[in-house]
């Protein structure tokens, strides 16, 4: 934007005085029939308008780039995206409460969100699909998300011992805006694995960063598998808004039967 030069324009001009900041004169300009009526900007007002316009454009471009960047790092794979886009999440009496809660959670997710959820139940009941949908909601709000199984997270930590140049998922899991740990309990649960998982969960707990868990194991089963002293159990409960149990028929088996009628 440039300051309007009005010396040769056919308008009546009334001086509004000289700006004390930039020392340029402002005018109220109007033509004879009143169809044109405007006030000129001084140099510092023009500079402010240009800066605000530039910032809006930068925010627009950066916002889009940030979303795409976060999506590239979120851990969702091709099959996950296909499931999100093609499989309709069918609610029923077993999952409706969890579905409504997590959709609302995704809509309201912000920098102040500090707690997540523990979602357990039988295999194939849509737990993972539900949290994948949650992940896309949060990603589209420009927040970072890591969706990963506990087994893949442990595998990455082990691999980096001999290959430190590969991506450090433990560090990303500690600092990402929303961590989603899928299938907690499928890893062996050795003392070393328990220690690595506790490091991540405890770090996020101290930083007030949320974790959403899915598992085929109830919290009592998690406690028996991992915790002689209840540390992981305590962090999960302390960092969760609610615990949901989703049981029912295995939807993968039902879909296979439907495809092969």
The residue among 55, 72, 89 that closes a domain is 72
pLDDT at 35: 67
Instruction: Give φ, ψ of 159 to 5 degrees.
Output: -65, -35
For 135-161, the pLDDT digits (tens) are: 999 999 999 999 999 999 999 999 999
CA–CA dist 154, 231 (Å, integer): 18
Write down how long the chain is. Answer: 261
Domain match, 123 and 186 both: yes
Domain match, 121 and 60 both: no
CA–CA dist 237, 97 (Å, integer): 19
Percent above pLDDT 70 for the chain: 85
Does residue 1 carry a pLDDT above 50?
Answer: no
**Mean pLDDT to the nearest integer, 233-242:** 93
Averaged pLDDT score across all residues of the chain = 85
Q: Which of 167, 230, 236 is nearest to 200 (CA)?
A: 236
**Which H/E stretch holds residue 39?**
strand 37-39
Among the residue ranges 104-118, 122-136, 158-172, 228-242, the one predicted with the least confidence is 228-242
Domain match, 66 and 124 both: no
Domain match, 167 and 93 both: yes
**Mean pLDDT to the nearest integer, 211-224:** 92
Domain match, 91 and 147 both: yes
**Mean pLDDT to the nearest integer, 96-110:** 95
**31: confidence class by pLDDT, cuts 50, 70, 90:** confident
The residue among 72, 102, 122 that closes a domain is 72
**Mean pLDDT to the nearest integer, 73-81:** 90
Give the list of residues 6+ apart from residue 214 with CB closer than 8 angstroms, or none: 119, 120, 127, 128, 131, 180, 181, 182, 183, 184
pLDDT at 115: 97
Domain match, 45 and 84 both: no
For 155-187, the pLDDT digits (tens) are: 999 999 999 999 999 999 999 999 999 999 988
pLDDT at 215: 96
Does residue 251 carry a pLDDT above 80?
Answer: no
Task: Provide the 8-state DSSP code for 4.
Answer: P
pLDDT at 181: 98
* Number of domains, the chain: 2
Domain match, 181 and 129 both: yes
Domain match, 127 and 54 both: no
Domain match, 47 and 88 both: no
Structural domain for 11, as ranges: 1-72
**Which H/E stretch holds residue 27?**
strand 25-30
Beta strands 116-121 and 240-246, pairing class: parallel
Domain match, 67 and 78 both: no
CATH number of the domain where residue 245 is located:
3.40.50.300
Q: Which two tokens stand for residue 173?
A: 């899991």
């Amino acid at each position: 934007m440039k300051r309007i030069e009005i010396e040769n324009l056919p308008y009546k001009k009334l001086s509004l005085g000289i700006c004390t900041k930039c020392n340029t004169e402002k005018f109220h300009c109007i033509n004879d029939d009143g169809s044109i009526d405007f006030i000129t900007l001084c140099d510092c007002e023009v500079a402010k308008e240009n800066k605000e316009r530039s910032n809006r454009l930068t925010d627009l471009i950066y916002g889009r780039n940030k979303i795409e960047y976060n999506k590239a790092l979120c851990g969702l794979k091709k099959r996950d995206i296909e499931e999100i886009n093609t499989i309709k999440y069918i609610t029923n009496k077993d999952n409706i409460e969890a579905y409504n809660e997590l959709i609302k959670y995704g809509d309201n997710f912000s920098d102040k969100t500090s707690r997540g959820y523990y979602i357990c139940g039988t295999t194939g009941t849509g737990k993972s699909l539900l949290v994948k949908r949650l992940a896309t909601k949060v990603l589209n709000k420009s927040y970072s998300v890591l969706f990963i199984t506990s087994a893949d997270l442990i595998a990455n930590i082990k691999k980096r011992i001999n290959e430190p140049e590969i991506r450090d998922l433990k560090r990303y899991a500690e600092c990402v805006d929303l961590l989603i740990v899928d299938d907690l309990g499928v890893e062996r649960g050795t003392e070393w694995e328990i220690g690595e998982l506790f490091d991540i969960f405890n770090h996020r707990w101290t930083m007030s960063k949320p974790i959403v868990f899915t598992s085929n194991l109830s919290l009592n089963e998690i406690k028996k598998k991992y915790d002689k002293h209840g540390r992981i159990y305590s962090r999960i409960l302390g960092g969760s808004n609610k615990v949901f149990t989703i049981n029912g028929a295995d939807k993968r088996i039902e879909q296979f039967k439907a495809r092969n009628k």
